[in-house]
Copies of this chain bind each other. A is one copy, B any other.
Amino acid sequence: MKFDIRAVDGVARRGTLALPRGVVETPAFMPVGTTGAVRSVSPAEVRESRSDIILGNTFHLMLRPGSDVIRAHGDLHKFMGWDGPILTDSGGFQVWSLADKRRIDEAGVTFRSPVNGAQVFLGPEESIRVQHDLGSDIAMVFDECTPYPATRDEAATSMERSLRWATRCRRSHVHRRQALFGIIQGGMHLDLREASLQGLMEIGFDGYALGGLSVGEPKEEMYAVLDSIVPGMPSDRPRYLMGVGKPEDLVRGVLAGIDMFDCVLPTRNARNGWLYTRAGVVKIRHAKNRTDIRPIDENCGCPTCARFSRAYLRHLFVTGEMLGMRLCTLHNLHFFQGLMADMRTAIEKQQFDSFSRVFFENTDPGNRVMA
Contacts and interface: CB of A to CB of B under 8 A. Distances in A.
A312 B39 contact: no
A291 B68 contact: yes
Given A64-B315, A315-B35, A72 B322 contact: no
A323 interface: yes
A63 to B, nearest CB: 10
Contacts of A80: 312
Contact of A323 (B41, B72, B291, B309): B41
A291 B37 contact: no
Interface string A56-87: 00000000110011001100000111000000
Contact of A322 (B307, B311, B318, B326): B326
Interface in A35-66: 35-37, 39-43, 64-65
Contacts of A316: 36-37
Interface in A310-331: 311-312, 314-316, 318-319, 321-323, 325-327
Contacts of A359: none
A312 B64 contact: no
Contact of A291 (B72, B311, B312, B325): B72
A36 B314 CA distance: 12
Contact of A42 (B73, B81, B323): B323
Nearest to A311: B69
A27 B153 CA distance: 76
Contacts of A326: 42, 322, 326
A189 interface: no
Interface residues of A, number: 36
Contact of A72 (B35, B69, B293): B293
Q: State how many copies of this chain the complex holds.
A: 2
A290 interface: yes
A64 B319 contact: yes
Contacts of A314: 65
B39 A69 contact: no
A308 interface: yes
A39 B73 contact: no
B36 A312 contact: yes
A315 B65 contact: yes
Contacts of A307: 43, 81
Contact of A319 (B35, B68, B309): B35
A291 B322 contact: no
B322 A325 contact: yes
Nearest to A271: B322
A35 B323 CA distance: 11
B312 A73 contact: yes
24 contacts: A35-B315, A35-B319, A36-B312, A36-B316, A37-B321, A39-B321, A40-B321, A41-B323, A42-B323, A42-B326, A42-B327, A64-B318, A65-B290, A65-B314, A69-B291, A69-B311, A69-B315, A73-B311, A73-B312, A79-B309, A79-B312, A81-B312, A322-B322, A322-B325
